[in-house]
Structure 1
């Protein structure tokens, strides 16, 4: 029974991958409809970041920003505007926001949005599927410390918090969000004028943001485990490359990617995405195949064993 559920889940994920790839290619062929950038931002410093004891008396979704977190969010808004406005763009660029419903992400959104005029913002949407990983309800600090130590030994992706979620659970809802995101673009629910560069800004949480990138770039669980968390109000810029693929390497340096935990293979893939030609058949590069099938022969003749040759 579990095997059947696993197969159904894998098939659904493959279908979403195929639909996303086909849609990206179709939109690129139409020209200029895809957002120029998708910028993923973690919230500013919260009371829970500065004092883990806050979770014992305040539900996670109500944890507010600290004064430092407010300042970080404002600075992030200024930096993001500089990224958008200082690069070659249409003069009438626009932004659209998606935000987690938690207090700290909504506050981060309000502060960073101060850097944009009403003319530049075409919309905002609260999105529950990019909320923080659920750790349970009120958190007893000593118990959570022990649980997090267990998670480190078990593995961050598959470990499920008691009465809460694993990163794998977050992956499933982020996948659903991505499917909706593409429909929003496809059906122009964002009310975007195609003559203007569009920038999507997603205000979320540390783990949800890493899972978003994992899902987008089809990183493996092993690669996910390498990633470092975002700092408070830190952001990643996924920018459309010359060949129609989104890449972190268009805006960010190799040194930054290394600092964030990307392996050399992951960085090489980002560089390819920055310049590679997009097409419906390049969903899996030779590098992906080698990661799974390092012992495959190069030709059919090499793969036929001695006994099989004798029977032919």
Structure 2
């Protein structure tokens, strides 16, 4: 079983944080640069998925759905899965509150800090655990799934599959837009094709 994880292409919120004050997170559009990124990523993703039949599971946000459409793929089945959505920051945000929460979250820790009207990283981790527990319900005959999701969600998918500590998770950087990782499940468990960028050593000394 292979899971090809890919982050959505560049969206408006990635280049203009004030967009979150006037557009719901789930409705943020891709930028023109993001549209180009997604089209260019398509051939690479087809190569990673291989020649056999594959399915797609996609976060139901505008930016993930549009990225998937521009990848130009031909899956046997596509499912929108809300559990693969971005960490919920609440509804429309105000600039001052957003900056304050980002600073608090960085100091407190991204996993346990609960956003005032949204989720903690631990909440996202819980829904990812439920999703991974249902992978055996994938379409019959499909050995690979493309998961079109978000940066933090990608890191938590890898954390859950690989059994990483919370400390290690918090030391990792989000992948870039349209960056991918491949998780493969064998007889001895999951393996990851390559590590995530790491901005500091994990406090508990654990490594990828």
* Partners of 1:176 and 1:240 in 2: CA distance: 17
1:223 aligns with 2:175: no
Select the residue among 36, 58, 79 that pairs with 2:44.
79
2:197 corresponds in structure 1 to: 259
Taking the aligned partners of 2:60 and 2:153, their CA distance within structure 1 comes to 13
Equivalences for residues 43-54 of structure 1 within 5 A: 43-54=8-19
Residue 132 (structure 2) aligns with: 178
Work out which of the residue numbers 119, 141, 157 in structure 2 matches 1:192: 141
TM-score by length of 1: 0.62
Higher gyration radius (CA): 1
Alignment partners' CA distance in 1, 2:129 and 2:185: 20
Which consecutive residues of structure 1, in runs of 5 or more, have no partner in the other structure?
1-34, 86-91, 268-312
Higher strand share: 2
* Shift in Å, 1:56: 0.8
Cα deviation digits, residues 69-115 of structure 1 (max 9, x gap): 11111222211122344xxxxxx512200000110011111111x1x
- Residues 1-312 of structure 1: pairs in structure 2 closer than 5 A: 35=1, 37-85=2-50, 92-112=51-71, 114=72, 116-117=73-74, 121-182=75-136, 184-185=137-138, 190-192=139-141, 198-240=143-185, 243-249=187-193, 252=194, 257=195, 259-260=197-198, 265-267=206-208
Return the structure number with greater helix share: 1
* CA-to-aligned-CA distance 1:216-272 (integer Å, 9 cap, x gap): 11111111111111111111011345x5533114xx3xxxx26356878534xxxxx
Stretches of 4+ moved more than 6 A in 1? none
Instruction: Spell out, residue by residue over 1:198-233, the C-alpha distance to the aligned partner (whole angstroms, 9 max, x if none).
Output: 221001111111111111111111111111111111
Structure 2 CA distance, aligned partners of 1:132 and 1:236?
17
Which runs of no fewer than 5 residues in structure 2 stay unpaired? none
Structure 1 residues 81 and 170: alpha-carbon distance in aligned structure 2, compared to 1, 3 A threshold: same
TM-score when normalising by structure 2: 0.90
